[in-house]
Amino acid sequence: MKKIQLKPIVQSLSLLGAGGVLIACSSLPGSQPPTLKAATGASLHSCTALVQSLKLSDTRIESAVSVAAGAIMQGDRAVPAHCLVKGRMHERKGSDGRDYAIGFEMRLPLAWNGRFYYQGNGGLDGSVQPALGALGGGPLTGALMQGFAVISSDAGHSGPQTTVFGLEPQACLDYGYQAVQKLTPMAKQLIAGAYGKGPDRSYIGGCSNGGRHAMVAASRLGDQYDGYLVGAPGYRLPYAALAQIWGAQQWAPLATPGATVKNPLNPNGTLMDLASGFTPQERQTVAKAIADKCDALDGVKDGMVQATQACQAAFNLRTDVATCTGERNGACLSTAQKEVVARVFDGAHTPTGQRIYASFPYDTGVSGANWGTWKFVDSLIRDPLALSTIFSVPPAPVDPLKDNIAARLAMFSATNPTYLESGWSLMTPPGESQPDNLATLRGRGAKVVLYHGVSDAIFSADDTRQWVERVGKAGLNPGADFARYFPVPGMNHCSMGPAADQFDLLGPLVKWVELGEAPQAVPASVRGAGNAGGVNTELPADWSAKRTRPLCAYPTVATYKGSGSLEEASSFSCQ
């Protein structure tokens, strides 16, 4: 059985890059990576003529229509005029008799900035989301709004709520990484046909599975993109999903016997009410205890825990949360509950102690509804489906409350004559969590910006932080000149929670790649009452509806300057 560990990278500088080419001198630690030339724009030649004029290999352009400025709104801003191109690549009959293709749409602005953005979508893919290049934490802006040509795809299958495609080997590979490989050169050719020139600079980004797509592209397509915007990356998705099943088995003994909730994927079905073992009231109690212990560590009590790592050392679940001496009443946790909560936050292990997935940091966002949904509902429905049909070889049903964790773990690295690539291989960056070609990426001037909600319940912010730390220990990020990580305190999976979850990291990434301006403090705002991007209903009532904070590049922390409004980012600095 393959042993999965969060191992530090000890590769020497003489290692070969991903393509078997000796790492260039410019990529060696200590040398300064280059700043790439800034993109220059162009105007769209024609829109409707693209259906006939574009001749792209293995691609059928279905339509090309003009979209007027303001026909689509992103928040309270009008999306500029653009051309919407829809098409399909590699249409085929699958081994299961179903029809498959890589469906996509591209949005080409009339006034183009010379840049290409690949929009990685979340979840199981399966549908072509509007190619607006939406960014993390609410529609503050987007890549299309900023003038990029943007592509979005279904990753090679249709049906976002089903995993039946996982039984078809090629569909699995497309979902894992090959759809991005196939779409990337086609999209660049399409752009060249539309504008008379290809993109000067290319970027890829997304959150959740979209963040995974970006990290996999950094490993497999190192020569195709200049900037990688990686949000809440499920880059070890099979193991995160298995950790969810393991977690369900931990929560189950705490649940109220016989209590059920509706199954959101089956109107006539029910699920065990795992949330009854750690109720919203009890999670609010834990969140308050975390705040009481950690809020002031960043210099001021403002309802936000910015000093995440210091908080992990300061907070003790067993002593800082009241222990119930009688019946549970929401204001305390039983001894059994404390043991389970501590075990889940410590991270999943096999019965013999082998680590399956990363730990999770304690943070006030544990009170968020999104946190509960992932832990108590999705662990019983979505994660088992993915485990059974996409990540396991051979595919095999999963009973989330009874599945043999160690046996399932072994199925991730298995192959057979039908499934020639394992679930681990098709989903994750080659070389486990450390792509071999990062030194080559850095050497040619590419950059990686990562962000993650500290209270993400499905993909751990600790996993992302540890990835960045491994890159640093390997000597590939001296002075944080290649990769920077922005934790978002309080935020759940990609948004929500008591957090300033509205921000734009694409603009700073472009400035870093093309102007050499490294991002350090990025403005973030809450989505309070009246927010055009949609209101975050989980904000505390005593916060301003327009509270702002700087997102700080790890390991710096947003720290109060000692004076100024607690609602303004200008009162804080990254230290």
Catalytically annotated residue among 208, 219, 359, 379: 208
244: CB partners within 8 A, 6+ apart: 374, 375, 378, 379, 383, 400, 458
Catalytically annotated residue among 82, 90, 452, 493: 493
Answer yes or no: are the C-beta atoms of 561 and 572 closer than 8 Å. yes
Catalytically annotated residue among 295, 302, 363, 456: 456
CA distances from 361 to 358, 388, 466, 540, 554 (A): 10, 28, 12, 21, 15
Half-sphere exposure of 429 (CA within 13 A, CB side): 24
- Using alpha carbons only, give the angle 270, 274, 275 rounded to the nearest 5 degrees: 110
Sign of the torsion formed by the C-alpha atoms of 471, 476, 480 and 483: negative
Q: Which amino acid is at 139?
A: P
Residue 456 a catalytic site member: yes
Residue 388 a catalytic site member: no
DSSP states of 19-86 as a string?
Answer: TS-BPPGGGSTTSPPPPPPPP--EE---STTHHHH---TTEEEEEEEEE-TTSSEETTEEPPPEEEEE
In what order do the strands lie in the sheet containing 502-503? 502-503, 521-525, 548-552
Count CB-CB contacts under 10 A for residue 354: 15
* Cα–Cα dist 516/447, whole Å: 10
Tell how far CA 437 is from the center of its chain.
Answer: 21
96: CB partners within 8 A, 6+ apart: 164, 167, 168
Three-class secondary structure of residue 349 per DSSP: strand
Residue 276 a catalytic site member: no
Q: Give the residues across from 524 on adjacent strands.
A: 503, 549
Catalytic residues: 208, 456, 493
